[in-house]
């Protein structure tokens, strides 16, 4: 255990996305994106599902970020509030004009502009996976 986070693991929720068989695809996308971001963790939450569809630790608490993304659906960077508190980067998942949910990544350090573009690209791929 590092900084109070659980060891790297995947929690799969029993929701609509799992019923459609996209959970493993989303997990792979989260794994590749966290690797691209230099570590940390990530999560995908869909509207209407009681728990994240995919959650890969270590990840700082992101519930507030996910809630803000639903209220204010735009890419959001929340800077850590002190040493040892990582930034969280999140973005909504859109399909045409329909908000599907949100994703958030953190725990890997500070984010660059290229990281924002990577997470927005992840969100596009995740939306296609969910709706396909």
- pLDDT string in tens for the chain (132-residue length): 333 333 333 333 334 455 567 788 888 888 888 888 888 888 888 887 766 777 777 676 777 888 888 888 999 998 877 777 778 899 999 998 889 889 999 877 788 889 999 999 999 998 988 887
Q: Which residues contact 121 (CB under 8 A, 6 or more apart)?
A: none
Nearest to 40, CA basis, from 82, 86, 80: 86
Place of tokens 């709706």: 131
Burial class (CB in 10 A: 0-12, 13-18, 19+), 94: middle
Give the per-residue pLDDT at 19. 55
What distance in Å separates the CA atoms of residue 96 and residue 35, rounded to the nearest whole number? 28
């Amino acid at each position: 255990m590092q900084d109070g986070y659980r060891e790297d693991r995947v929690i799969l929720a029993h929701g609509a996305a799992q019923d459609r068989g996209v959970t493993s695809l989303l997990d792979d996308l989260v794994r590749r994106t966290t690797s691209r971001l230099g570590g940390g963790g990530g999560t995908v939450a869909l509207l209407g599902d009681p728990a994240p569809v995919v959650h890969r630790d270590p990840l700082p608490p992101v519930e507030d970020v996910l809630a803000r993304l639903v209220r204010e659906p735009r890419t959001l960077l929340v800077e850590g509030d002190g040493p040892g508190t990582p930034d969280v980067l999140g973005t909504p998942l859109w399909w045409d004009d329909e908000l599907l949910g949100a994703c958030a990544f953190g725990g890997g350090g500070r984010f660059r502009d290229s990281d924002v573009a990577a997470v927005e690209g992840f969100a596009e791929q995740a939306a296609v996976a969910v709706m396909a």
